[in-house]
């Protein structure tokens, strides 16, 4: 019977995906080049340098969303900090894929260089809407959540309707925090679709469950990952230790209430085994373009229409004459360099339109 249930729930596509979605590591060195060259192994010609940084650091070296922060000589205790946010993790996976490494190899290399884990986010993507987040909030309010954590916060975000809205967007998103966001361990659950929609992007992920770990908790999670090399064991071991959702049952003590069926399936009962998912992304401008398409392009079109009415090209002139800083020039360089000039072909493989036109012309002439 157990085999029948498992086969009935088996699909070609995984119901859940496991991801490393945020990494922050401090290294006891102020030699930023050592981190960029020896650990990340990035080509320095394509690195963007800035005299500003986050977390109290002074300098930034970056390629896409892979960021290295450096400190000045008077703050040796800060060392050098590596930060990979969500997209940075995906781009780092491109780097690792290109050189034949895994996250385990990379984390081991970080520890070999005396890296200290400051934060690690482990994420579970819900691809089949297994987690009904509004319902989980309701279950917390109904005392059907058993956890050692003392607080939660559930929020719903969206747009308020106004009569003059031409295209009213009624999509809302629900987010649930379990545990204090100031602690070294807490959970964040949110509906992924609305979050991506705000950025002008689409996704086939329904919900995301994030374990956010800091300092000692992050170190212990990395130790567990490297010891057992079993992501499902580490991730769901943390979840099951700190949290469970149950269904109320009269006549039984609360601690003996049965697990909620959806939650039981989420944490591993009658579902496929899981492995770490990698979703390497090229270094491209897709997110920037999506932001321009949704936030900038409509108003830019308005200005073009007004310019056309008055017979001028003020908007185009402003664009052409806009001053470009070194940062902008380096971004242009990063996104126009040929893929053959970069180890592993990390940038999106694209043929410039003019070059493609020449190839098409040559093909026509050879017929």
pLDDT, greater one: 212 or 358 = 212
Residue 162, phi then psi, degrees to nearest 5? -130, 145
Question: Among 236, 266, 296, which residue terminates a domain?
Answer: 266
Count CA atoms within 13 Å of residue 76 on its CB side: 0
Q: Is 79 helix (H, G, I), strand (E, B) or coil?
A: coil
Asked whether residue 273 is assigned to any structural domain, the reply reads no
Asked whether residue 277 is assigned to any structural domain, the reply reads no
Which H/E stretch holds residue 172? none
Q: Are residues 19 and 114 in the same domain?
A: yes
Q: Are residues 209 and 141 in the same domain?
A: yes
Q: Are residues 100 and 61 in the same domain?
A: yes
Query: Domain tally for the chain?
Result: 2
Residues in contact with 195: Cβ distance below 8 Å, sequence separation at least 6, in sequence order = 173
Q: Which of 147-151, 172-176, 238-242, 356-360 has the least mean pLDDT?
A: 356-360
What secondary structure letter does DSSP report for 28?
Answer: S
- Please tell me the distance from the alpha carbon of residue 236 to that of residue 119, in angstroms, as a whole number: 18
- Please tell me the distance from the alpha carbon of residue 76 to that of residue 70, in angstroms, as a whole number: 10
Asked whether residue 29 is assigned to any structural domain, the reply reads yes
Domain around 336? 286-366
Sign of CA dihedral 310, 315, 321, 323: positive
CB 10 within 8 A of CB 271: no
Question: Among 217, 232, 266, which residue terminates a domain?
Answer: 266
Q: Are residues 218 and 342 in the same domain?
A: no
Asked whether residue 276 is assigned to any structural domain, the reply reads no
Q: Are residues 223 and 303 in the same domain?
A: no
pTM: 0.76
Q: Are residues 30 and 136 in the same domain?
A: yes
Give the CA-trace dihedral at 81, 86, 91, 95, to 10 degrees: 60
Asked whether residue 278 is assigned to any structural domain, the reply reads no
Asked whether residue 86 is assigned to any structural domain, the reply reads yes
pLDDT in tens, 121-135: 999 999 999 999 999
Q: Are residues 338 and 248 in the same domain?
A: no
DSSP bridge partners of 212: 121, 186
Q: Which of 9-23, 50-64, 180-194, 243-257 has the least mean pLDDT?
A: 9-23
Residue 237 vs residues 3, 143, 243, 287, 339: alpha-carbon distances, Å: 24, 23, 10, 34, 41
pLDDT in tens, 99-152: 899 999 999 999 999 999 999 999 999 999 999 999 999 999 999 999 999 999
For residue 244, name the pLDDT band (cuts at 50, 70, 90).
Answer: very high
User: According to the per-residue pLDDT averaged within each range, which of 42-51, 67-76, 160-169 is highest?
Assistant: 67-76
CB 62 within 8 A of CB 115: no
Q: Which of 32, 43, 121, 112 is nearest to 80 (CA)?
A: 32
For position 222, what pLDDT does the model report? 98
Residues in contact with 188: Cβ distance below 8 Å, sequence separation at least 6, in sequence order = 175, 176, 177, 178, 209, 210, 212
Asked whether residue 311 is assigned to any structural domain, the reply reads yes
Q: Are residues 16 and 108 in the same domain?
A: yes
CB 22 within 8 A of CB 85: yes
Q: Are residues 177 and 314 in the same domain?
A: no
Question: Is the predicted pLDDT of residue 8 greater than 60, yes or no?
Answer: no
Q: Are residues 254 and 293 in the same domain?
A: no
Asked whether residue 272 is assigned to any structural domain, the reply reads no
Question: Among 202, 231, 266, which residue terminates a domain?
Answer: 266
Q: Are residues 343 and 259 in the same domain?
A: no
- Please tell me the distance from the alpha carbon of residue 233 to that of residue 180, in angstroms, as a whole number: 24
Q: Are residues 122 and 52 in the same domain?
A: yes
């Amino acid at each position: 019977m157990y085999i029948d249930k498992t086969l009935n729930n088996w699909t070609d596509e995984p119901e859940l995906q496991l991801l490393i979605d945020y990494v922050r590591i401090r290294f006891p060195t102020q030699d930023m080049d050592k981190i960029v060259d020896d650990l990340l192994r990035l080509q320095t010609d394509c690195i963007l340098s800035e005299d500003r940084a986050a977390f109290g650091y002074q300098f930034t070296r970056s390629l896409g969303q892979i960021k290295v922060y450096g400190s000045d000589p008077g703050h040796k205790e800060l060392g050098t900090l590596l930060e990979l946010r969500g997209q940075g993790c995906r781009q780092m996976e491109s780097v690792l894929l290109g050189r034949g490494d895994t996250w385990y190899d990379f984390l081991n290399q970080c520890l070999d260089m005396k890296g200290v884990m400051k934060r690690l986010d482990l994420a579970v993507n819900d691809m089949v809407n297994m987690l009904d987040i509004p319902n989980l909030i309701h279950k917390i309010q109904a005392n059907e959540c058993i956890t050692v954590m003392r607080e939660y916060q559930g929020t719903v975000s969206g747009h308020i309707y106004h009569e003059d809205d031409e295209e009213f967007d009624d999509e809302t998103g629900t987010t649930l925090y379990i545990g204090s966001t100031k602690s070294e361990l807490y959970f964040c659950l949110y509906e992924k679709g609305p979050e991506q929609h705000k950025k002008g992007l689409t996704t086939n992920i329904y919900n995301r469950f994030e374990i956010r770990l800091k300092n000692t908790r992050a170190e212990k999670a990395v130790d567990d990952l490297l010891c057992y090399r079993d992501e499902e064991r580490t991730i769901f071991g943390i979840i099951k230790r700190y949290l469970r959702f149950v269904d109320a049952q009269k006549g039984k003590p609360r601690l003996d209430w049965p697990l909620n069926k959806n939650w039981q399936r989420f944490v591993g009962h009658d579902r496929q085994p899981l492995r770490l998912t990698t979703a390497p992304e090229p270094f491209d401008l897709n997110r920037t373009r999506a932001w321009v398409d949704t936030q900038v392009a409509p108003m830019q079109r308005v200005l073009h229409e007004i310019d056309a009415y008055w017979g001028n090209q003020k908007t185009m002139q402003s664009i052409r004459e806009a001053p470009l800083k070194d940062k902008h020039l380096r971004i242009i360089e990063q996104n126009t360099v040929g893929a053959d000039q970069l180890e592993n072909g990390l940038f999106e493989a694209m043929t410039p339109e003019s070059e493609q036109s020449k190839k098409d012309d040559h093909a026509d002439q050879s017929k």
